Amino acid sequence: MRFGVVQFPGTCDDRDAVLACERVDGAEAVLLWHGERSLDGIDAVVVPGGFSYGDYLRVGAIARFSPMMESVIAFASAGGSVLGICNGFQVLCEAGLLPGALLPNVGLRFVCRQVAVEVVNADTRFTRACAPGQVLSIPVKHTTGRYYAPEVELESMQAHGQIVLRYAPDGNPNGSSNDIAGVMNAGQNVMGLMPHPEHAVDELTGSVDGLTLFASMALGAPARA
């Protein structure tokens, strides 16, 4: 299968995302420049982390209107798999592909550390290679990672299995509502998370747990020669 990794001005985790995708058996990855529109031959999209458009105005606010994001919105609307990581999560929320928004961390500080993340819902196209309740060791690095959604929305998300990942008890790094680390849309084909699975794909950096998300996305996807 072929992953497409979106690249905005200011994106910085695109190369790691490509590396992570390519560590999955039978998968390849290509970069998608924000000013282009074509998703031809792409089976799944990753919107990676960084500081798209310098985080000007509001995180993710300007990236959301780029030509490539228009194509990604159409791709997602047609049921395509889209994973947003950190700034990518913020962009997908701004684009209306995911419920809620990301607010500045309660501590107002940039947090950069390894966190324990519990797989709340392992029955998704993003986590099906995980065991239910499995705890993944993945780093976070962000200043604006406090997930917020109105209470009624949170209840609906909880009821529909849209809360995919939570920070382990007492490990919430940013004050996110209900310790939420990753969520899906109602259609269950778009996911966003603040932790960086693409930085946890090699024992050299302490964990390979992040690979399970990319491997999950590849399961059931078409093989490519």
Partner 1 sequence: MKARVLIRPKAGILDPQGIAVERALPALGFTGVSQVHIGRLVELEVEDSSQLEPICRTLLANPLIEDYEIQEP
Residues acting as catalytic residues: 86, 196, 198
Query: What is the C-alpha to C-alpha distance for residues 73 and 84, in angstroms, rounded to an integer?
Result: 12
Contact present, 38 and 2 (Cβ < 8 Å): no
107 versus 220: smaller Cβ distance to partner 1: 107
Nearest distance in Å: CB 112, partner 1: 18
Tokens of 109: 């500080």
Query: What is the C-alpha to C-alpha distance for residues 32 and 16, in angstroms, rounded to an integer?
Result: 14
Provide the residue type at 111 as one letter.
V
Nearest distance in Å: CB 126, partner 1: 23
Contact present, 21 and 3 (Cβ < 8 Å): yes
17 versus 68: smaller Cβ distance to partner 1: 68
109 versus 160: smaller Cβ distance to partner 1: 109
Nearest distance in Å: CB 148, partner 1: 6
Nearest distance in Å: CB 40, partner 1: 29
Farthest-apart Cα atoms in the chain, separation:
48
Provide the residue type at 110 as one letter.
F
33 versus 148: smaller Cβ distance to partner 1: 148
Q: Which residues bind partner 1 (CB under 8 A)?
A: 57-58, 61-62, 65, 94, 100-101, 103-108, 146, 148-150, 175
9 versus 104: smaller Cβ distance to partner 1: 104
Nearest distance in Å: CB 104, partner 1: 6
